[in-house]
Structure 1
């Protein structure tokens, strides 16, 4: 199976502001990598993701939505 990675632009949203409310943070104009959810899940309904020493769970619902929990 061949996977093609593409890129997309991240939208500007207050939740993405890492300036701590000290004004507008510079926006990174580089496109973010795009990964298909099927690539992450590899045929499973749930996959564990280790991030900064914490374990997260990415789960696909019956309706095709994704849920990320810690």
Structure 2
């Protein structure tokens, strides 16, 4: 037996973009709270330079596996 998909009409007073925008805002805030792996920032390098609010910072991984952030 084969099921048929039937499109339901959207009510004229419904706001079709209201829910996706709200969902996107919630997803964005959720992603901002997730931890980022240092490997993703360093990408195999020992150090990277980061621009933050117009200032340069250096993020460096030590041989002991610690991170140093300097301005």
Structure 1 equivalent of residue 55 of structure 2: 54
State the structure with bigger RCO (CA 8 A, min sep 6), 1 or 2: 1
* Consecutive aligned runs of 4 or more in structure 1 exceeding 2 Å deviation: none
Q: Which has the larger radius of gyration?
A: 2
Which residue of structure 2 lines up, in the alignment, with residue 42 of structure 1?
Answer: 43
Per the normalisation by structure 2, the TM-score is 0.54
Give the aligned length.
41
Measure how far apart 1:32 and its partner are. 1.8
Q: Normalization by structure 1: what TM-score? A: 0.55
Q: For structure 2, list consecutive stretches of 5 or more residues without a partner in the other structure.
A: 1-29
Structure that is richer in strand per residue: 1
